């Protein structure tokens, strides 16, 4: 039968075959005429002893021969395959032999014969190539030994063609849908690549800036230390000189203020360096707590406005894993920025890190309004955003999901906390960590 998934290979012609009328070439014209008259057949198939198809017998031509003057007497007892008559008897319009005689049977010149291995499209091709003046439209079916197996009526073949058109139409619609989905995926991938390229360019820019800032910052800090030492020396030498001692204290106080500011700037530069650092193709040893702390430093401007950070995790230098540190820093920055925006810049974010047997489990809980169920199911979809046109690309969480699940073989999910607010849960496999020298953290 005609299948829906692969019609070319699934057509079984015998499912649509009718027996038709097959006659031996040795049959008498009178017997052939009676058999076709009783069966209401316009055509019969002429076969040999091994049932190989030889020709077609036309009821119209046989009737013309037998009804002609003296036709019954001359031809009724003659064999079907051996009888030839003059064209004037049958009034044949087709070209006859040079002597003016033609065979009673019709040759198979334009008849379509299908074998079991012929597919639907091959049958359709042959059917479309048949001459317009062809009077026999049915299709002859033969078996693998070329023996007559039946007839496929043209009306049944036309029905199959209609069924095929419906299948092709549905297949075309499905392929169009697949192409649309592929185009959307390519568009999202292009946007992600553009974002990744921007992040790479930003990383290079940040690396250059931090390098340029580190040198003068180092000089400033070193100068502060030297001036501080001179101030201490001056205060010691001034002894009871109140004015000198007072100036020395003022200088020391300003030096301490400058040193604190310099150290804060140095911490910010180091966080920028880690955030913008390009990742190698293979994962490297990374400190999870240091990445979180570095991200908080970069977001200090947003956090200082009214966001409290509650930390529930071990000290830096105790939570190691194999990872792409720059990518994980991006993930933390995306989630923390979204949390701050969800709280409208005021509230509390709780960060907790726990270790299971094989994973580090990071939970980021904000005190915002939470995530509605209809949004929760789509929050990681590429292009989905609640920030409005021109505000967000909808790629932050989508890229974050790929970074966690594809690049680190971890898990990320979002849920609502029973006490309110949203929680992002990130599980990162520890795998095997190699520390510098002979230090090693057990997996």
Return averaged pLDDT per consecutive 10 residues of the chain, 443 residues in all: 49 83 91 90 89 89 87 89 76 54 79 85 82 77 90 86 85 90 78 61 57 66 69 61 65 69 66 59 86 85 83 86 86 90 90 91 94 88 62 66 89 93 94 41 31
Give the whole-angstrom CA distance, residue 313 versus residue 231: 41
**Largest CA-CA distance found in the chain, in angstroms, rounded:** 160
The CA angle 271-275-279, to the nearest 5 degrees, is: 135
Contacts of 60 by beta carbon, 8 Å cutoff, 6+ apart: 42
Return the closest-CA partner of residue 299 out of 343, 340, 349, 270: 340
Q: 338 and 369 in contact (C-beta within 8 Å)? A: no
Q: 289 and 315 in contact (C-beta within 8 Å)? A: yes
Give the whole-angstrom CA distance, residue 95 versus residue 134: 14
Give the whole-angstrom CA distance, residue 382 versus residue 192: 9
- Strand order across the beta sheet in which 411-416 lies: 307-312, 347-355, 359-366, 422-429, 411-416
**Amino acid 206: pLDDT:** 60
Question: Looking at the domain 279-443, which fold is it?
Answer: Heat Shock Protein 90 (3.30.565)
**Amino acid 439: pLDDT:** 36
**Amino acid 425: pLDDT:** 96
- Tell me 118's DSSP state: -
Give the whole-angstrom CA distance, residue 59 versus residue 425: 84
Give the whole-angstrom CA distance, residue 441 versus residue 443: 6
CATH architecture entry for 9-152: Roll (3.10)
**Amino acid 438: pLDDT:** 35
How many other CB atoms are found less than 10 A from the CB of residue 370? 18
**Amino acid 5: pLDDT:** 47
Q: 22 and 155 in contact (C-beta within 8 Å)? A: no
Return the closest-CA partner of residue 413 out of 360, 385, 375, 376: 376
Which token pair is 140? 């002859």
- Strand-pairing partners, residue 105, are 57
Which token pair is 436? 């510098």
**Amino acid 410: pLDDT:** 93
The domain segmentation of the chain, as residue ranges, is 9-152, 162-277, 279-443
**Amino acid 441: pLDDT:** 32
Return the closest-CA partner of residue 292 out of 265, 266, 274: 274
Same fold, 9-152 and 279-443: no
Whether pTM exceeds 0.85: no
């Amino acid at each position: 039968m005609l299948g829906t998934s692969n019609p070319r290979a699934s057509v079984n012609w015998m499912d649509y075959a009718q027996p038709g009328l097959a006659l031996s070439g040795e049959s008498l014209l009178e017997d052939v005429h009676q058999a076709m008259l009783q069966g209401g057949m316009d055509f019969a198939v002429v076969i040999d002893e091994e049932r190989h198809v030889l020709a077609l017998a036309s009821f119209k031509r046989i009737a013309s021969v037998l009804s002609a003057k003296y036709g019954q007497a001359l031809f009724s007892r003659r064999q079907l395959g051996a009888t030839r008559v003059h064209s004037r008897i049958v009034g044949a319009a087709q070209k006859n032999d040079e002597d003016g005689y033609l065979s009673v049977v019709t040759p198979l010149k334009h008849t379509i014969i299908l074998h079991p291995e012929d597919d639907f499209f091959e049958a359709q091709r042959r059917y479309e190539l048949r001459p317009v003046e062809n009077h026999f439209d049915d299709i002859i079916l033969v078996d693998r030994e070329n023996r007559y197996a039946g007839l496929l009526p043209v009306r049944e073949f036309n029905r199959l063609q209609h069924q095929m058109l419906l299948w092709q139409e549905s297949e075309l619609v499905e392929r169009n849908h697949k192409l649309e989905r592929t185009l959307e995926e390519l568009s999202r991938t292009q946007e992600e690549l553009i974002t990744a390229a921007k992040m790479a360019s930003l990383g290079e820019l940040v690396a250059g800036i931090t390098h340029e800032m580190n040198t003068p910052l180092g000089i400033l800090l070193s100068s502060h230390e030297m001036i501080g030492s001179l101030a201490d020396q001056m205060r010691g030498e001034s002894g009871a000189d109140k004015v000198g001692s007072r100036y020395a204290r003022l200088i020391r106080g300003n030096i301490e203020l400058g040193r604190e500011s310099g150290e804060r700037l140095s911490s910010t530069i180091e966080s920028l360096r880690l955030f913008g650092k390009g990742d190698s193709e293979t994962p490297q040893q990374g400190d999870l707590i240091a990445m979180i702390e570095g991200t908080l430093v970069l977001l200090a401007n947003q956090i200082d406005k009214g966001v409290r950070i509650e930390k529930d995790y071990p000290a830096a230098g105790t939570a190691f894993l194999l990872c792409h540190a720059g990518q994980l820093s991006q993930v933390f920055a995306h989630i923390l920025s979204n949390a701050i925006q969800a709280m409208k810049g005021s509230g509390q974010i709780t960060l907790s890190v726990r270790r299971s047997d094989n994973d580090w489990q990071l939970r980021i809980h904000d005190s915002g309004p939470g995530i509605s169920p209809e949004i929760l199911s789509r929050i990681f979809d590429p292009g989905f955003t609640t920030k409005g046109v021109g505000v967000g690309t909808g790629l932050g969480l989508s890229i974050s999901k790929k970074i966690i699940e594809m690049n680190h073989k971890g898990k990320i999910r979002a849920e609502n906390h029973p006490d309110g607010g949203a929680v992002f849960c990130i599980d990162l496999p520890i795998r095997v960590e190699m520390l510098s020298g002979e230090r090693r953290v057990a997996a």
